[in-house]
């Protein structure tokens, strides 16, 4: 079973891609909505939450955990790998493909404050930003919009425009989504961008990496496409409200969501 963890519903954008490449896999998803957003919080607190959730997922039988949260990856992935004997796959900053494919030489990154401070992001920035100008923008308030299910409309457009327009005006031709919540705002971002830039979502690459790791763990060869068959069971736990969680799961999975299980969870 694969565990998937995020501060809230954003990690569902990664679960969507995991489910696409491993449809028969069983998933257990934890939304730590009671403490969302993680971005402004102290890294030590984020590490505590990540450790607690990981212990819970392992107790449920997870043999791989995908940390589907950029902030939690930045703060906790090293500690998680040192503390548990199962593999962890985190969110990789998608600066590399953006920098390599940029024609204008300007790349925008929309992320949380916690992600920008993380060693993984800073290392990637140092490695791949030599030939491009990187514009960093903290997306304050965007996580909260997604958690409330406000993915489109005037309020979403105003806030997204506040962050994205300056990147476009500076010449950015690629905008990297550095938070797993942000792909749920893609329709609004595309409306603002209006074809002026490529939106880079790292979730598909992370899902493929998880597939490779899981295949290696089980002594299998990763398959480009799994044979048709029954979908794996999915269980969702939330430390906060699960209203938006349920809506987004149904949006992603359609009628299959009727067979999924939802539980409230309190992790000390």
pLDDT-derived band at 131 (thresholds 50, 70, 90) equals confident
pLDDT digits (tens, 9 = 90+) for 45-99: 999 999 999 999 999 999 999 999 999 999 999 999 999 999 999 998 789 899 9
pLDDT-derived band at 129 (thresholds 50, 70, 90) equals confident
Domain of residue 102 covers 95-201
CATH number at residue 102: 3.40.50.1860
Domain boundary (149, 180, 201) is at 201
Within this chain, do residues 55 and 178 fall inside the same structural domain, yes or no? no
Domain boundary (186, 201, 216) is at 201
pLDDT digits (tens, 9 = 90+) for 153-176: 999 999 999 999 999 999 999 999
Q: Which pLDDT belongs to residue 225?
A: 57
pLDDT at 222 over 80: no
Within this chain, do residues 124 and 252 fall inside the same structural domain, yes or no? no
In the chain, the number of structural domains is 2
Q: Which residue in 28, 36, 179, 234 is the catalytic one?
A: 179
Within this chain, do residues 162 and 119 fall inside the same structural domain, yes or no? yes
Q: What is the DSSP string of the chain?
A: -EEEEESSSTTHHHHHHHHHH-TTS-EEEEE-GGG---TTS-HHHHHHHHHHHHHHHHHTT-SEEEE--HHHHHHHHHHHHHH-SS-EE-PPPTHHHHHHH-SSSEEEEEE-HHHHHSHHHHHHHHHH-TTSEEEEEE-TTHHHHHHTT--SSHHHHHHHHHHHHHHHHTT-SEEEEESTTGGGGHHHHHHHHTTSSEEE--HHHHHHHHHHHHHHHTT-PPPSSPPS-PPPPEEEEESS--HHHHHHHHHHHGGGGGG-EEEE----
Within this chain, do residues 84 and 210 fall inside the same structural domain, yes or no? yes
pLDDT at 266 over 90: no
Give the residue, 218 or 223, on which the prediction is more confident. 218
Give the residue, 29 or 219, on which the prediction is more confident. 29
Q: Which residue in 28, 36, 69, 234 is the catalytic one?
A: 69
Mean of the pLDDT values across residues 229-235?
A: 82
Within this chain, do residues 160 and 68 fall inside the same structural domain, yes or no? no
Within this chain, do residues 99 and 35 fall inside the same structural domain, yes or no? no
Mean of the pLDDT values across residues 190-216?
A: 96
Domain boundary (170, 201, 232) is at 201
Q: Which pLDDT belongs to residue 177?
A: 97
Percent of the chain with pLDDT over 90: 83
Residue 213 token pair: 């790791």
Within this chain, do residues 145 and 48 fall inside the same structural domain, yes or no? no
Within this chain, do residues 67 and 83 fall inside the same structural domain, yes or no? yes
Within this chain, do residues 218 and 159 fall inside the same structural domain, yes or no? no
Within this chain, do residues 39 and 106 fall inside the same structural domain, yes or no? no
Q: Is 28 one of the catalytic residues?
A: no
Q: Is 179 one of the catalytic residues?
A: yes
pLDDT digits (tens, 9 = 90+) for 4-37: 999 999 999 999 999 999 999 999 999 999 999 9
pLDDT-derived band at 208 (thresholds 50, 70, 90) equals very high
Within this chain, do residues 197 and 232 fall inside the same structural domain, yes or no? no
Within this chain, do residues 210 and 259 fall inside the same structural domain, yes or no? yes
pLDDT at 223 over 90: no
């Amino acid at each position: 079973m694969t565990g998937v963890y995020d501060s809230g519903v954003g990690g569902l954008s990664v679960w969507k891609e995991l489910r696409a490449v491993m449809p028969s896999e069983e998933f257990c998803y934890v939304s730590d909505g009671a403490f969302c957003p993680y971005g402004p919080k102290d890294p030590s607190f984020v590490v505590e939450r990540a450790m607690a959730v990981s212990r819970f997922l392992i107790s449920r039988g997870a043999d791989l955990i995908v940390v589907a949260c950029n902030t939690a990856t930045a703060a906790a992935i090293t500690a998680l790998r040192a503390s548990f004997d199962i593999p962890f796959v985190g969110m990789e900053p998608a600066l590399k493909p953006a920098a390599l494919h940029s024609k204008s030489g300007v790349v925008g990154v929309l992320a949380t404050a916690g992600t920008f401070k993380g060693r993984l992001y800073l290392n990637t920035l140092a490695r791949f930003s030599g030939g491009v100008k990187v514009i960093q923008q903290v997306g304050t308030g965007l996580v909260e919009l997604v958690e409330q299910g406000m993915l489109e409309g005037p309020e979403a457009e105003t806030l997204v425009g506040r962050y994205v327009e300056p990147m476009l005006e500076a010449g950015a031709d690629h905008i990297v989504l550095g938070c797993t919540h942000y792909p749920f705002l893609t329709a609004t971002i595309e409306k603002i961008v209006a074809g002026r830039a490529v939106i880079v979502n790292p979730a598909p690459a992370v899902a493929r990496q998880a597939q490779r790791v899981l295949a290696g763990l089980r002594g299998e060869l990763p398959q480009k496409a799994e044979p048709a068959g029954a979908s794996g069971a999915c269980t969702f736990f939330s430390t906060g409200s699960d209203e938006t969680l349920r809506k987004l799961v149904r949006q992603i999975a359609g009628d299959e969501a009727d067979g999924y299980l939802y539980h409230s969870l309190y992790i000390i």
